[in-house]
Amino acid sequence: MTTPDAAPSRGSIDHDWYRSFFSGLFLDVWRAATPPEQTRAEVDFLERTLVLPRGARVLDVACGLGRHSLELAARGHSPTGVDASREALELARGEAAARGLAARFVARDMRRLDDGDPLGGPFDGAFALGNSFGYVEPSATAGYLAGVARLLRPGARFVLDSGYVAEALLTHFTPHEEHRLGDFLFLEENRYLLEESCVETTYTLVRGEERVTRKGWQWLFTLRELVTLLSRAGFAVEALLRSTAGEPFRVGDPCVIVVARRE
């Protein structure tokens, strides 16, 4: 394990980074990185775990290109995907229209889910897959989770995944990562900001002659902190899993999937 670097000053963090991050090449690589069979397996898991009734109303938080919502709509459900990237939402709407799917996509910051026109709840289930948990600072995370709870019917479940829990990330923190994803070279330079419990990542994407570099920040929580935040928002945590196959999470697993029920 590599010891994380020391932190820069608090003011160097862009708290709105994700609002403009996901566009252009960064949407292209996200699309290339996820094969259709992975999406189908994840939606199988969501249907089982959320215990969705036929034609369920489902909330997809930080939906990105909407791959889960589109698959849910293809199975007869009524998903609503919310995201801060207007470019991603336009692409998701275009695919829904081309396939004749009844999936709704709405521009919304996860910190302010109640702002704007009503999203159409109460929902029968909600999820935030794709490692988006931790995008917003701890002071706003409690409000984000409470906003999800308000949109769910009592007894409905919420599923989120995260590689940014301390029991996962800090056991294998690496300052440099390099991946080949189809035509893309994907580079990451990571710094752990000690005073903030936050990872600052400089991402570089290369495809042929194209090269784009952007920064992102994700905050870490211990599992105890995450469970406490969910409890205060009105959820009871039912399971901590390592994958959609249902195995329990263990310290050092690269990602945790949290299943919580709205009380």
Cα separation, 111 vs 14, whole angstroms? 15
Question: 25 in the Ramachandran plot: left (φ > 0), alpha (ψ -120 to 50) or beta?
Answer: alpha
pLDDT score for 66 = 98
Domain positions in the chain are 13-163+221-262
Q: Where are the strands (E) in 8-96, listed by range?
A: 57-61, 78-83
Q: Which fold has domain 13-163+221-262?
A: Rossmann fold (3.40.50)
pLDDT score for 8 = 44
Q: What one-letter code names the amino acid at 245?
A: A
pLDDT score for 103 = 98
pLDDT score for 33 = 86
Cα separation, 118 vs 88, whole angstroms? 21
Q: What is the mean pLDDT of each run of 10 residues along the chain (263 residues)?
A: 45 89 94 92 98 97 98 98 97 98 97 89 96 94 96 98 96 94 94 96 96 97 97 98 97 97 97
pLDDT score for 4 = 53
191, 175 Cβ separation under 8 angstroms: yes
